Amino acid sequence: DIQMTQSPSSLSASVGDRVTITCRASQGIRNDLGWYQQKPGKAPKRLIYAASSLQSGVPSRFSGSGFGTEFTLTISSLQPEDFATYYCLQHNSHSLTFGQGTKVEI
């Protein structure tokens, strides 16, 4: 199985801050990675696919980068509605795996 190590598990930030979340794959996954945002009681919402492609309708302050084993989700200027939990997901192998999640708190 491909393991996804996501860090940090939580972070505290303020409105306007630049936030970076990292996912590391246990083996190369090309760019077969997506990022999701989840708010309490809601289904996850896809933000990024193919490691760096922005989902339609998602604000441009969200961006993704990386290839192979190292991936990053960046929020350039944190907004009040961005406080949520974020997950990465690899879909390179026959068994998909999520990162452990990063809770972004005020």
Q: Which parts of this chain interact with other proteins (CB under 8 A)?
A: 1, 33-34, 36, 38, 42-44, 46, 49-50, 55, 87, 89, 91, 94-101
Cβ of residue 44: shortest distance to other proteins, in angstroms? 6
What is the Cα–Cα distance from 44 to 92, expressed in whole angstroms? 20
**Closest Cα partner for 23 from 82, 83, 68?**
68
Shortest Å distance, C-beta 16 to other proteins: 28
Q: Is the Cβ of residue 19 or residue 87 nearer to other proteins in the bound state?
A: 87
User: Taking every pair of C-alpha atoms in the chain, what is the biggest distance, in angstroms?
Assistant: 39
